[in-house]
Structure 1
Amino acid sequence: MSTLSVLIVDDEPLARARLTRQLQALGDCELLGEAGDAEAALAQVDELDPDLVLLDIEMPGRSGLELARELSARPNPPALIFCTAHDEFALPAFATSAVGYLLKPVSAAQLGEAIARARNLSKPQLKAVAGGQEKPAGRSQIKAVSRRGVQLIPVSAVRCFVADSKYVVAHHDGGETILDESLKELESEFGERFVRVHRNALVAVQHIAGLQKQGSNYCVLLDGVAERPQVSRRLLAGIKSLIEEMA
C-alpha cells in the first residue's frame, strides 16, 4: 500500500497534535507539515504538494471552506477531509472536493475510514488513471448520512445497488451502506456505468466477473464483494450478451 502524504490545517495546537498521533498510528500516512491558518496552508500546499489535507473550518482569517474552494479549483487538487466541531457546514463542505466530514473529537477509527476513502481519490491514483478519457456521467461520489456521520462513497468503488424494502444498499469495496436514494434515480444518473439486472438491482459493468447458475435462476458474480444479485429472466439474454461482448 502506497504512503499517503498529509498536511494538517487547524488553528488549535492540541487538535493538530491529536491528529498527528492518530496518523502515526495508522502507519501508512506521512505527515508533511502543519498550518494554523489558510494562508500558511496555501504556502505549504504549494511547497509540499500533499495528497491529502485534514482541514478545520473555523480559523482566524479565511475559513477552511474558503481554502477548500480555492484548492478544489486547482488542477489535481489534494483530497480534503474536514475535521471540525461544527456539523452545520456539511453541505457546503461537500460542494468542494471533500471526501470526508468528521466531527471533533475525531476518533482514530473515523479518521482511518475517511483516509481509506480518500485513497480512492488521491492524486497519485487520479494521475495514474488520467489519459484524456471523458469524465463518466454523474457524480464521482455518493453521500450517505447515518448515525455514524456523513460518508462519501466513490462511485468507482460501488459494485452494485440493491433495493431492500424501502432502502437501497450500495455494496462497495469498503462494505455496505444504506442510501436515501431510489434505484430509479441512481439508474437515471449512472446508467452509462451500471446496468439493471433485476427490478431491485443495478450492477457496475466494469466489475462484472461472470454469471453463476443457482437452481433455475442466474446471479451476477462481482469482483471484490460477496453480494450476488439475481438476474431476472426478462433481462437474462441481454446480460449474457453484455458479458460476451466484454470477454
Structure 2
Amino acid sequence: MKKLIIIPAYNESENIKDTVENIKANAPDFDYVVINDCSTDNTLDILKDNNYNYVSLPINLGIGGAVQTGYKYAMEHDYDVAVQVDGDGQHDPVFLNYMAEYLKEHELDMVIGSRFIDKEGFQSSFTRRMGIVYFTVLIRILTGKKITDPTSGLRMAGKKVIALFADSYPVDYPEPETAVTAINNGMKIEEIPVIMKERQGGVSSITLKKSVYYMVKVTLAIVIERLRGRR
C-alpha cells in the first residue's frame, strides 16, 4: 500500500522536528507531509532547514482546513491510506504499521486509535474525559455505533474515506463530526488500542472558554450531520 502520514502543524516549533524524526525512525514505510497552517513562530524555518516534506498554507485555516489539505494531497497523489498524526508529539508512530495491517486485513474504511480501550498511557484531563464520554454516548444514541475515543486525531483512512474527507471536512474540532460523517456514508470503522503521550511542548489551542463553545458547536454539528444522511 501507498501510505501517507498527514501532520497538521500550527506553531509547533517545539515539537515538529522530534515528531518528524520519530516518524522517520519508527514508520519508515510511510511517506509524510507536514501541513504548516500559516504558523507565526519558526515552524516553517524548521521545515525548510531540515528539508522536510511540507505544504505551507498562505492563511491560517484551522485544524480542519489543515487536515483536509492533507487528504487532498493524499487523493491527488493516489495514496491507499492516509493517517493523521498531530504535530505536538502525542501520537506514537510505532502503532501505524499495525493500524495499516488491521485496516487491510479487516477490510475497513477507517481505523481510530483509542487510548481508552486498554487505558494505558496519557488519559487526558478529567474534564476532557467527561467530554469524551459525552460524545461517545451521543454518537451511540444517534448512530448505534460505540466509539470510545471520538476526539482521537490518530485515525487512518482508506481510499473511500480519503475521497470523502478531501471533498468536505469541518473547519474546527472535526473528529467527532467526521466519525458520524463516515458512519452516515456506510463506512466500516473500528477502533484499536493505542498509547498516547502528553503534549511534548507548546500550548493546546483548547482553552476553558473554547471548551464550552466546543461542546455546543460539536453537539449541533453531530446532530445536523446525522440528520443530513449520506452524501
**Common fold, TM-score beyond 0.5?**
no
**Greater RCO (CA < 8 Å, at least 6 residues apart):** 2
Larger radius of gyration: 1
TM-score by length of 1: 0.29
- Structure number with the higher helix fraction is 2
- Structure number with the higher strand fraction is 1
TM-score by length of 2: 0.30
